A and B are shown apart, each in its own frame.
Chain A
Amino acid sequence: GAGVSQSPSNKVTEKGKDVELRCDPISGHTALYWYRQSLGQGLEFLIYFQGNSAPDKSGLPSDRFSAERTGGSVSTLTIQRTQQEDSAVYLCASSLGLGSYTFGSGTRLTVV
């Protein structure tokens, strides 16, 4: 597509439930990233996929968080047993080489 598409745009979930967030990157972009932005804060790196290489999961805050990227395209970020501190905007970006970062509009997750 023309841009990075994320869904849903908003998600309200009860504490303890699992959620799945989806990212559809720009066609042909080999790299895909997930970041998290808490209210009024900067962006916190979560996970990075580059081509067929093993993903860099060094930013995932706990084992409740996981992500996969199927067929080198669409990615899903899964949060199990959500907690209130997981509430944030989850941003996905894709790129094709340095400097071509393009962000999606994000998913605002609220855990109640």
Chain B
Amino acid sequence: GIQVEQSPPDLILQEGANSTLRCNFSDSVNNLQWFHQNPWGQLINLFYIPSGTKQNGRLSATTVATERYSLLYISSSQTTDSGVYFCAVSFGNEKLTFGTGTRLTIIP
């Protein structure tokens, strides 16, 4: 099956800093999503981005499908951005394979 690797596994930043999270996947996909799991465990769908670039406020994401990676950018980070960010992919159906996540901690 598809393998999904995320880096870095952990990231600690000062409030206001920018960050880049990376997701590499091992095979062609037609579905790639980024999720944020907040400290209370709730998973929030951030982006559906099988290719191209999208932006939503301070967050943006880029997927280069031909090179099998995606990047999530967080600018001017806030403490509420803390949590675990997951990349998840699939091909041919909607059954997602998740990466192991990047744990982001924003220090006030």
A residues engaging B (CB < 8 A)? 31, 33, 35, 41-45, 48, 50, 56, 89, 91, 93, 95, 97-103, 105-106
Contact = CB atoms under 8 A, between A and B. Distances in A.
A98 B30 contact: yes
Contacts of B97: 45
Contacts of A44: 98
Contacts of A97: 94
Q: Identify the 5 closest CB pairs spanning chains A and B, nearest first.
A: A99-B48, A103-B43, A43-B98, A42-B98, A42-B100
A87 to B, nearest CB: 15
A110 B36 CA distance: 24
B93 interface: yes
Nearest to A43: B98
B42 A42 contact: no
Instruction: Identify whether the interface residues of A are mostly helix, strand, loop, or mixed.
Output: strand
Interface residues of B, number: 22
6 contacts: A43-B88, A45-B96, A48-B94, A48-B95, A93-B43, A100-B48
Contacts, number: 56
Most chain A CB within 10 A, of B30, B33, B45, B101, is at B45
Given A89-B41, A98-B31, A56 B48 contact: no
Interface string B88-106: 1000011111111100000
A91 B97 CA distance: 14
B86 interface: yes
A42 B101 contact: yes
A105 B98 contact: no
